[in-house]
Amino acid sequence: MIDELEDFIKINRRAFNNGEPSKEVWAKIAKNLQQKRAKRSTRLLTWLGGIAAVFTLSAMALIYIPKFVNVDGAKNSVNADVAKNETRYRSLIIEKKDSLAIFASSNPDLYRRFTADLFKLDEEYNRLKDELNTTPNRPIILQAMIKNREIQLKLLKQQLLIINQVDSYNRVNQI
Q: What is the per-residue pLDDT across 7-52, written as a single tens digit (0 to 9) for each?
A: 887 887 777 677 676 778 778 877 877 776 656 667 777 777 778 8
Q: Average pLDDT, stretch 102-124? A: 84
Q: How far apart are CA 68 and CA 71, in angstroms?
A: 5
The single-letter DSSP state of residue 136 is S
List Cα–Cα distances, 51 to 9, 38, 58, in angstroms: 46, 20, 10
pLDDT recorded at residue 92: 84
What are the φ/ψ torsions at residue 22 (nearest 5 degrees)? -75, 170
Residue 175: pLDDT band with limits 50, 70, 90: low
C-alpha to C-alpha distance for 94 and 48, rounded to whole angstroms = 68
* CA pair distance 128, 3, nearest whole angstrom: 91
76 pLDDT above the threshold of 60: no
Q: For a pLDDT cut of 90, what percent of the chain falls above it?
A: 5
pTM of the model: 0.51
